[in-house]
Amino acid sequence: MQLFADASQRLEKALQYVDLPEDALAYLRHPKSSLAVSIPVRMDDGSLRVFQGYRVRYDDTRGPTKGGVRYHPHVSQDEVQSLAFWMTFKCAVLDLPFGGGKGGITLDPKSLSKMELERLSRGYIDAIADFIGPDVDILAPDVYTNPMIMGWMMDQYNVIQRRIERAVVTGKPISMGGSAGRDTATGLGAFMTIDAIAPLLELTPSDTTVAIQGFGNAGSILAVELAKAGYRIVAVSDSQGGIYASQGLDIPSIVHYKDSNRRINAVYCEGSVCSVVEHAIISNEDLLALDVDILIPAALENQITDANAHRIRAKYIFEVANGPISSAADEVLKQNGTLIFPDILVNAGGVTVSYFEWVQNRSGLYWSEAEVYTQLKKRMVRATEEIWQISQQQGISLRTAGYVLALERIGEAISAKGTRDYYVH
């Protein structure tokens, strides 16, 4: 099944729990606009390569579309459309004045030099400049894109427009108008969700085991925060594989080691001296099947499907990646009693602080990291509590509850413009 068709099944499930105007449903079944572009890039050796790029604006009922740009070999029109679909609901869940957008380029970014990456990033903006803008569609970092790449994109847009438009891109370097706290926002937001819900689940951090698949920016930041709070993180992994230690891992040491060596290892560090501690080498598949209290998929989509869902033994799953669990796997996990906290809530910290950055760019007034943290926590805790209450009151899954909350807000915005009921009655 294609990713978008699978993602759409979540929408269908939520529709029976919300009184949505027919017009809203008609809007939400299709993206507002999609763009596919070819990006010619002169390589360092003089050769010319043409890369495929995409941008989708899914729905802008509540405001300009907002979403990241990812660089990955598996980027496709279907994937980008699915991610834009999820962003639409994520923004509504957090009550942000945005719709959902997403973009990407199909490539292995590790195979390009820094200069080639810059030419590619600027070429992407050249190709989509008429499709984006601070009041139309706002870009942000995603998989294998970072503040420097966002800075290149903003600068190229400014060159094309012949004026400074900081708010067209978020996740920029602070020196170029970025927001304090943006680089850690996704991981921090996920931690705030776990921290807010732990008392309701009667979880005591020191007695709670955690496994994290994906030790990139979001996964590593979340791991650091969980370790600080006393959770026992027994396994982490990246694209090359994972490590497991039943007694728990020293997360700050692993972060330090990865920053220096670009790979993970079960180490304990004192200053700059690191020594390997007892551990087992495991695969990403093995990590997903560990007997832990909390499983955190923080890598890519479709990591848990109907093919491996029966192996999952975690009591709770917090989705830090976008779409890591297929709709078929949802059903298997539900039958096994696993409670899933959905991506449209758990990883919404990034887009929330991107919204703060956009607000700061538009106003010219910039916030401290403490102010950003305070405002992020308010929104993450409120959204967590709202979804939990809907789930409990209606007896539905947390994922469906998240879509119900989002659909109610999107439906209100569509109704405000006039629907069939207004014109017919």
Q: What confidence tier does 321 reach under pLDDT thresholds 50, 70, 90?
A: very high
CB atoms within 10 A of CB 359: 15
pLDDT at 257: 86
| Candidate from 23-32, 359-368, 415-424 with smallest mean pLDDT | 415-424
What is the pTM (predicted TM-score) of this model? 0.91
Q: Is residue 13 part of a domain?
A: no
Q: What are phi and psi of 183, to 5 degrees?
A: -70, -20
The verdict on 97 and 211 lying in the same domain is no
> What is the β-pairing status of strands 241-244 and 232-238?
antiparallel
DSSP for 116-157 reads HHHHHHHHHHHHHGGG-BTTTEEEEE-TT--HHHHHHHHHHH
Neighbours of 71 (CB within 10 A): 26
pLDDT at 40: 98
* 386 shares a domain with 301: yes
Instruction: Check whether residue 158 and residue 239 sit in a common domain.
Output: no
Digit-coded pLDDT (tens) for 295-306:
999 998 889 998
Instruction: Look at residue 1 and tell me whether its pLDDT is greater than 50.
Output: no
pLDDT at 11: 75
pLDDT more than 90, % of the chain: 77
User: Is 217 in contact with 187 (CB distance < 8 Å)?
Assistant: yes
274 and 403 in a single domain? The answer is: yes
12 within some domain: no
Report yes or no on 254 lying in a domain: yes
| DSSP β-bridge partners for residue 379 | none
- Please tell me the distance from the alpha carbon of residue 412 to that of residue 398, in angstroms, as a whole number: 21
Q: Which pLDDT band holds residue 7 (cuts at 50, 70, 90)? A: low
Asked whether residue 117 is assigned to any structural domain, the reply reads yes
Write down the pLDDT at residue 8. 72
**172 and 184 assigned to the same domain:** no
Name the pLDDT band for 423 (thresholds 50, 70, 90).
Answer: low
Q: Residue 20 in contact with residue 6, Cβ under 8 Å?
A: no
CA-based end-to-end distance of the chain: 41
Same domain, 161 and 209: no
CB 153 within 8 A of CB 55: no
- At 424 the pLDDT is 67
pLDDT over 60 at 65, yes or no: yes
Using alpha carbons, select from 235, 181, 168, 176 the residue that is nearest to residue 356: 181
Domain that holds residue 85: 31-176
Domain tally for the chain?
A: 2
| Whether residues 346 and 216 fall in one domain | yes
Q: Which residues are catalytic?
A: 102
Kindly state whether residue 23 falls inside one of the protein's structural domains. no
Residue 197 shares a structural domain with residue 153: no
Name the residue with tokens 């170029």.
176
Q: Which residues pair with 101 in a beta bridge?
A: 57
Average pLDDT over residues 378-405: 95
Cα-flanking dihedrals φ and ψ of residue 66, to 5°?
-145, 135
Burial 368-387 (b: 16+ CB within 10 A, else e): eeeebbebbbebbeebbebb
* Model confidence at 425: pLDDT above 70: no
* 316 band by pLDDT with thresholds 50, 70 and 90: very high
Q: What is the tens place of the pLDDT at every residue in 330-372?
A: 999 999 999 999 999 999 999 999 999 999 999 999 999 999 9
* Cα–Cα dist 141/149, whole Å: 8
Domain boundary among 160, 176, 192: 176
Report the CATH number that the domain containing residue 332 is assigned in CATH.
Answer: 3.40.50.720
Considering 12-26, 215-229, 259-273, the range whose residues carry the highest mean pLDDT is: 215-229
152 and 196 in a common domain: no
**CATH at 150:** 3.40.50.10860
Nearest to 81 by CA among 39, 31, 143, 138: 31
State how far the Cα of 42 lies from the Cα of 118, in Å rounded to an integer: 11
Same domain, yes or no: 164 and 192? no
The last residue of one of the domains, among 148, 176, 204, is: 176
The angle subtended at Cα 334 by Cα 402 and Cα 59, nearest 5°, is 25
